[in-house]
Each structure stands twice: as structure tokens, then as C-alpha cells.
Structure 1
Amino acid sequence: MAIKIEMLRCFTMVALHGSLSDAADALGRTPSAVSMMLKQFEDHVGSPLFETARKSRLTPIGGLIYEEARREVAHFENTVSVIEGLSKSELGYLRLAVTPSVATTILPTIIHRFCQMYPEVRIDIRDMDSAAIARDLEREQADVGIGTLPKIDGMNRVELFSDPFGVVCRKDHSLAQNWDQLSWQDMDEYVLIANGLCKLITDPGFAPILDKSRLMVRNTTSLMGLVREGVGITILPRLAVTGPQDNIAFLPLKDVNTKRTVHLVSQPQNFLMPAARAFLKLITSMIHEGALGVDKEI
């Protein structure tokens, strides 16, 4: 018996919900039908996929198969969405994965123009860190990614802009009083709240400061909340601190050249769905127009 997409869908939903009944409710099917489909899948695999009859815990092989099955189901559902869109003379569905700073700076302008040009396209925007964006691209769970991204085999990568790192602290912090002469040494006595972007900073003077940090926060909203509360200071690229920040200050660093580079990454054009191709074409034209709202190098 060949593996069917319904087998993969039933398996992933049971693994996600941890029970047959909850998975059946999500799928709009009876628990017995889901159980039968799951058994057929396990028979084909030749090994149990769950450790107990309650389906609350995957076996080791079940965990490996789950990752592959989830990716295949997502790809199938996106393909169906695009096919249905094309049958209605629409462009389909666009999945974007972007970093929070991109989501709040350059993306709104792009999305506003894109929606005016293609009002029928459905858009799914997820903000996450760059490592998660790269994983989503590799798993084909995103069509286009924008962040500080590595080269990924078989994908196109274009540099959008780069911005310098600086100290982020409260405006009433003592460092803010002498910001025009700020260096790494000035930060030594203060609590540093590290974040995922700190690993991009290669300046030797920053290494001992990062080593002393006992706080790591990857979510930008949580990070800014701690800084605002006065828990400590952090280091971020210039465009990561945008909009009204109340009592938050961004302090440039003297004689520090380390920058964050933001890339646009996607599958080759011939592998992309129409909506993604249209999105990339729009960004390319906006880059040439200088309409992204950021300079190539800030």
C-alpha cells in the first residue's frame, strides 16, 4: 500500500494534539477513522510510531517521521492553495518569514504596495529569529525569508542593507550621559542582557563582556521590556530599535565597525509560486527606486 497524504495528515495531527479524539475533531473525522488511517500508516512503516495507546508520546522513529511528514503536509497544502488560486486567476498564497526588526521597518511599506497591486493574494507573515527563518526555508515552510541569513544550498541570497550595532539602554542610564565617547570598556561594570544577534559581533573587546552575561533573551519584545525595566543593557543593530521607544536610547559605539547584514533569501525563480515571484519582483524594483526606507549601508 502506498503512503497517502491523508495518512501523513492524520499522523501529524495525532502527534500534534496527543490524542485520537482531539485530532479527529481538528480533522473533522471520527476517531475510529483516524485510528484506522494511523494503523495503515504504521503497518506500512513496519514500526510503532507512538509509545502508548494514548498517543501522547512519539517513538524515536516516530519523531523522525513526524518532521518529514509535517513538512510534506505543509508543502501539499500550500500547493493546493496555489492551484486553487490559479484556477480563479489569482496568484495564490505567499509565506514570509522575517526578523522582528524587518517586520517593523521595511516590511510594512513593501506589504502595503504589494496588497494594492495583488489584493487577492493571501499572505502569511511570521516574525522569528534568523536561525528559525533559515530552518523554515530549508523545510519549504516559507517562500521568502528576510534576516541575517547564511548561504543555503540551492537558494538565492541578496543583500538588502546593513546597520551598525550600538548599546540599548534607558535614557536615564549613566551610559547615556557620555554616549558620544562610548566604547566596549565602558560597558564592563553593567549587566548585559545578551540576545541572538550578539554572536555576530566579532570585536575582541566585546568577547569578555559577553562571557560575563548571565541573561540570554531571544525575543525582541521581551528583551526591550527588560531594558525598559532597568534590568540591564543590551546590544542591538540600529534598525532593531525603531518607532516610539519611550525611555529607550540607542547609543552608537566609538571606533566599532561591526554591522548586522540583512539578506533576502528564496528558492530559485523557477521553483517559486506566482505570488512569491511577484513579491520578489516588487522588492527588486523598490531597491532600484530606493523606496525601502533604508540605505544600503546605514
Structure 2
Amino acid sequence: MMLRQFEDHIGAPLFEAGRKSRLTRLGELIRVEAGRELAHFDSTVAAIEGLSRAEAGHVRLSVTPSVAQMLMPTILHRFAENHPLVRINMRDTDSATIAQDLAAGRADIALASLGPQTGFDRNLLFSDRFGVVCPSGHPLATDWEALTWADLADIPFIANGLCHYVTDPDFRPILDRATLNVSGTAALLSLVRAGMGVTLLPELTMQGTEHDITFLPLVDASIRREVWMFTPPETETTPAAAALARTIREQEITLAH
């Protein structure tokens, strides 16, 4: 009855007269078109189900360079094993730019040393201690535990964007006289290797570096860099982004020093 109604609607037969098992030329064309639409419908339903189960989707990450280099390879490898079809776009940059990415809607998840950001949940991921970074064999490394900020007074210092976390007033004169300020970690460490001066960095930044430079932890253990994870509220997070955020939270972060 439905086929007869369809034939009446299109104004032409679907089957050859007297041979209901054989389609007319028009019927064959309609069968092909209908098959395409059914396949498209099935793929659309599958895509929707994949998005809801975090089996597909797209997540934009904005993270600091040390986190990108030292933590994200393990995290993304683990995530990809469970969500192989989810596309990840990761950008590594400084915390100030990450704040701009969040405000402009360019990041679904961010890992940075930032204060609260409007419209995003903020959870502490880890903290690590600061230390002076110098070439191996530098005089500072000889008896570092017995030294103070005053012992850096005559040593060239290279400033970087993380130095503002150290609020010790005795460090301020060292920072104020720095004539070189470098934001990129790779360039910063290259200058340290070249003997341009010493710098101050958090512990994670030094993991995986060569033995030609040394990390000397500060005596004041209260001076730490905090790395926070920023995510949209749960009701505004896609399943894929929520799954990646869970993977990040579950990652055990072990600092070598």
C-alpha cells in the first residue's frame, strides 16, 4: 500500500507491469538515491553517538611550554589509546597568552599559572619548587646550600616571565639589574649554556635537560609555581573535552628532583 501511494505521489510506476520483483529504470534510480540517504542517516546517527561517548570530536588545548614538553606526551598517548578518533589541537605558549586564549574562546582546556578566569572552573593540577639554573661546574653549585641571594649579586642574571612568582624582597635587586629578559624556555637555557648568566625556573622545566646545566633548588620551599587546569563549567563541556580533562586529572605527576 505504501509503495502504491508513493507511485501515485511521483506519478510513475516503480515496478514493471506484471513483474513486481523487477524495478523500472526510474525505480532503480530512486532505490540508489534512497540508499544514499539511508547511509547518510546512519552515519549521522553514528557520529552523534560517537560525540556523546567521546569517541569523536575536537579539543583545543592551550598549555605552558614545560607542561607541553614534560607532561602532555604521556597524557595524550594515554588519551589517544582510549579515544583514537578525537582530534587534538595543542598550543604551547606563556600564561598571559593562555589567558587571552580562554577569554577569546580559543581553548577548551588550559594548563597555566594563572588566577581565576571568568567563565572557567579552576583546579590545581600540581605545584613545583623554584631553583637557580646555571651551567654545570658553576661556582654557585659548589656550596649552594650555604649561599644566599646576596651571593648572586655579582653574577649576571637572565630574567624570564616566571620570576614574578618569587616575592622574596632580597631577590628584587637581582631581578631589577637584569639586562636580559627571555620568555622562551629553549632560548633561555641556551643562553645559560652559553655562559650569558644564570636564571630562575620551576623544577618541571628542568626535567629531561642535558647534564651541562644544573638546577639548584631554593632554600625557601614555600616559593612554588602552581599550575592550574581551566575548563568550562560541566554543562558547557563537550564529552571529548570532559574525557581529556579526566585523563589529565588522573595523570600521576612525579618530579625528578
The TM-score by the shorter chain falls in which range?
A: 0.7 to 0.9
User: Alignment partner for residue 237 of structure 1, among 184, 202, 205?
Assistant: 202
Q: Are the counterparts in 2 of residues 85 and 91 from structure 1 also a CA contact under 8 Å? A: no
- Kindly, what percent of the aligned residue pairs are identical? 44
1:125 — aligned with what? Answer: 90
Deviations 1:249-284 (A, max 9, x none): 000122352110110011112112221111112233
1:171-186 to structure 2, matched below 5 A, reads 171-186=136-151
Q: Shift of residue 84 of structure 1?
A: 11
Report whether the alignment pairs 1:141 with 2:141.
no
Unaligned runs of 5+ in 2: 1-43
User: Alignment partner for residue 91 of structure 1, among 24, 49, 56?
Assistant: 56
Q: Are the counterparts in 2 of residues 194 and 210 from structure 1 also a CA contact under 8 Å? A: yes
CA 1:203–1:245 in 2, change beyond 3 Å: closer, same or farther?
same
Report whether the alignment pairs 1:292 with 2:252.
yes
Deviations 1:27-70 (A, max 9, x none): xxxxxxxxxxxxxxxxxxxxxxxxxxxxxxxxxxxxxxxxxxxx
The residue identity in structure 2 corresponding to 1:154 is G
Aligned residue pairs, count: 209
Runs of 4 or more, structure 1, over 4 Å off, are none
1:187 — aligned with what? Answer: 152
1: distance between equivalents of 2:176 and 2:160? 13
User: Which one has a bigger Cα radius of gyration?
Assistant: 2
Q: Shift of residue 292 of structure 1?
A: 2.0
Q: Are the counterparts in 1 of residues 126 and 253 from structure 2 also a CA contact under 8 Å? A: no
Report whether the alignment pairs 1:254 with 2:214.
no
CA 1:234–1:88 in 2, change beyond 3 Å: closer, same or farther?
same
Equivalent position SS for 1:205? coil
Report whether the alignment pairs 1:155 with 2:120.
yes
CA 1:174–1:254 in 2, change beyond 3 Å: closer, same or farther?
same
The residue identity in structure 2 corresponding to 1:124 is N
Equivalent position SS for 1:134? helix
- TM-score under structure 1 normalisation? 0.66
1:33 — aligned with what? Answer: none
1: distance between equivalents of 2:46 and 2:117? 29
Q: Are the counterparts in 2 of residues 182 and 254 from structure 1 also a CA contact under 8 Å? A: no
1:71 — aligned with what? Answer: none
Q: Are the counterparts in 1 of residues 157 and 174 from structure 2 also a CA contact under 8 Å? A: yes
Q: Shift of residue 87 of structure 1?
A: 4.4
2:175 — aligned with what? Answer: 210
Unaligned runs of 5+ in 1: 1-82
The residue identity in structure 1 corresponding to 2:96 is A
CA 1:84–1:93 in 2, change beyond 3 Å: closer, same or farther?
farther
Equivalent position SS for 2:226? strand
The residue identity in structure 2 corresponding to 1:206 is F
CA 1:236–1:85 in 2, change beyond 3 Å: closer, same or farther?
farther
Greater share of strand: 2
- TM-score under structure 2 normalisation? 0.76
CA 1:217–1:147 in 2, change beyond 3 Å: closer, same or farther?
same
2: distance between equivalents of 1:221 and 1:238? 15
Q: Shift of residue 208 of structure 1?
A: 0.8
2: distance between equivalents of 1:198 and 1:140? 28
